[in-house]
Structure 1
Amino acid sequence: MSKRHSHSSSPNFATLLQEFFVDRLMQQRAVSPQTIASYRDTFRLFLQFAQARLRKSPVDLALSDITVDLVLGFLHHLQENRHNCARTRNARLVAIRSFLKYAALKDISALAVIQSTLAIPMKRFDRQLIGHLSRDEIEALLAAPDPNTWCGQRDRVLFATLYNTGARVSELIHLRVGDVVLGKAPCAHIHGKGRKQRTVPLWRSTASQIRGWLQRNGASPDQMLFPNRSGNPMTRSNVTARLKLAVQTATRQCP
């Protein structure tokens, strides 16, 4: 009797969460490491909150515990105690929603609780208007890095490629030499979010700059196109710092 009951009982919360990360995110959807890290951080924070609120350890949680009140309390905690912005609050809610949609397929007995929790709305926020630079300002910025230094040469090509492709910084810093085609129809194969790839044409001026950069550095196809001094990928903070430096230089020439 007990064996039959245990065999037919619903999976517990901890098991479902583990299966969600391994089966759903990693194997079925093959999401990026950045997304997995974001979801992992969300559930680390959520489990800590749930343990304090319900006085239950994570291994003792059940899907029926993930009520509207608990999730709303967690979102309120993020904003009031952790001072998260609406965008971050929404990202945490997306992670929880994604898990609950997966769990609903595994445990029908908790469907009512899950459906009510999925109804929690995203928080609206004002989007800041993005300004733009004039052509003269862009040209001053692209010419700002010192062409007599290795970093300056790299930054000139990096900023030109960024301007040409419109790629995210996170996409650009992971470009490899082999991702760039410099033949009759030059282009860059950019690997975006969700393992999506797109091909962006390169202007002749950009292709010429990249070609000169590669001739000076002799990089192989699997090496980073825009490495740091150690040959490793640049970080977003590296690019931010280099861009701020270029802006300071360009501002003196083009106030």
Structure 2
Amino acid sequence: MFGWPCPKSWAFAELPVLPPRERTPVSVNQSFQSDDVVIQPRKGKNEPDLGPDALMVVIPQDLNRLTKLAPMKGFDFGFFKVFQKKNSAGGLSLAGPFLGAPQAAMALEKIIALGAKRICVFGWCGSLQPDLKIGDIVIPLHAVSDEGTSRHYPIGKKKAVTDQALNGTLEQALEKARLPFRKGTVWTTDAPYRETVSKVTAFRAKGILAVEMEMSALMTVAIYRSVKLSGLLVVSDELFDLKWHRGFSSPLFKERCEQAGNLLITMFQNEG
């Protein structure tokens, strides 16, 4: 085969004949739709019941800091964890970390199955606008999907948007804390090393504020599952001049991440 010598031991005639697989009969009364899913997100045995409020923390260092603010009990779900305040069932839950739309969408599905109904996403983003600098805060209202997860969640003619009421609560909290912020559209990508000159230039010209890796998928899943979702992103780097300016070690950036995280915890506690 293909010009290679075939050892006698490879001859198909000498391969063992396997017995036919046993198949479970399907009832003639059982009906399936072509878009029915095989795996449903659900609460498993010994998994926690979550209250309605949850904070999805994208970045590991932000999650580590926030889980140290109070005694927390953690639940391991493989690629992410869920944390609940000890002796406070039904209160705010924290979940994370996540990398990209597929992971974040899977985690959102899980925490919804555990009881979450009002979710805020806390993460980072790269600025596409000259007047949006490292350390600034963005509230994403809408997202342009350049990722592959959203299309698996049909939402008809609805747009990928965050929840207006939850955005309003977030805006009030930021204003009260005197933390400046911008709100608008973000670009969600699966491939940070493919943020090309043409894409950055085009999205900048359209007024899109920033680029990140989760929001469009999370907005779409939230709409599909009929839960409320908002987001707060801190600008960690800048791309608007077609060069990569990193601010991950900036004192202002670190301070703003701490302020934003604390604000979100307080906001949910006050709302609860």
TM-score, normalization by structure 1: 0.23
Work out which structure has the larger RCO, using CA pairs closer than 8 Å and 6 or more positions apart in sequence: 2
Select the structure that is richer in helix.
1
Q: Which one has a bigger Cα radius of gyration?
A: 1
Select the structure that is richer in strand.
2
